Amino acid sequence: MLSVLISMSLMAGTALGASLTQVQNYNNNATSKAQMPDNVVENPPLVIVIHSCQSSAQSYFQNSAIPWKQGSDKKGYITVWPSSPNSGTCWDVSSKQSLTHLGGGDSQAIANMILYAVSEYKADPERVYVTGGSSGAMMSNVLAATYPELIKAVSLYSGVAAGCFVSASGGVDQWNNSCSGGQSRATPEKWKQVVLDMYPGYEGPRPKMQIWHGSVDGTLAPQNYEEEIKQWTAVFNVSQDPTESVQNYPKQGYTTNKFGESVQGIYAQGVGHSVPANLTASEEWFGL
């Protein structure tokens, strides 16, 4: 069972910070936890924080390198932290079910979490954001392709292009050595078609994409950054040539490339797997 946690204030009216609370009975086989800060703003934004392999909602929340709980406490937005049901706790980004709109699988489970949070916690449906690292970054890409109508923006750290991990046998939560090693390469138009095929007929708005990757990533090869940029620039029908490039931003050794208003790539020189979450830059991308 995939789990969802929500973090609730420890004491009403007292700014003591928030802890995670299990979300129950939200009409799915998934589980999740969420964070409701003490100072929830009116019509609060919602951030979905998706963990990496060998992690969980609770451990990701407690990880000092994952700063979203501090952002929630400071700015009053809600965070939801899904937990993978799979062995090794990687996300299913390989099966047809998860790679298809309303196909079931982990992607639909997280989409249902979003709908539940909007309904039950009165989160603003126009301000729903997704972030994740490694396997969570892969799922962030998949959600952008399969449920674009639910998401305003994505900030993902060290992932692969949506559909890159597809299993030839249709297996759930299958590792893909070709993709992880950077050998799964395609033209921008082919990568775009992968996205379009995940939600056939969809012509509505799509979330803007912020893509982070390290230059010495030994788990998901740096070539995957290039494939992600190809994919999302093609989806938004913009050039792969940056409209603006900023060196040493948001940190020394990082290069931020802008491809119009909807795609941003941040390449971290000398950084491995995975790039540490940068709350300030991700919040800026989300408009928080």
Give the residue numbers marked as catalytic.
134
The 3 state secondary structure assigned to the chain is CCEEEEEEECCCCCCCCEEEEECCCCCCCCEEEEECCCCCCCCCCEEEEECCCCCCHHHHHHCCCCCHHHHHHHHCCEEEEEECCCHHHCCCCCCCCCCCCCCCHHHHHHHHHHHHHHHHCCCCCCCEEEEEECHHHHHHHHHHHHCHHHCCEEEEECCCCCCCCCCCCCCCCCCCHHHHCCCCCCCHHHHHHHHHHHCCCCCCCCCEEEEEEECCCCCCCCHHHHHHHHHHHHHCCCCCCCCEEEECCCCCCEEEEEECCCEEEEEECCCCCCCCCCHHHHHHHHCC
90 and 12 in contact (C-beta within 8 Å)? Answer: no
Question: What is d(CA 92, CA 138) in angstroms, rounded to the nearest whole number?
Answer: 9
160 and 228 in contact (C-beta within 8 Å)? Answer: yes
Question: What is d(CA 219, CA 221) in angstroms, rounded to the nearest whole number?
Answer: 6
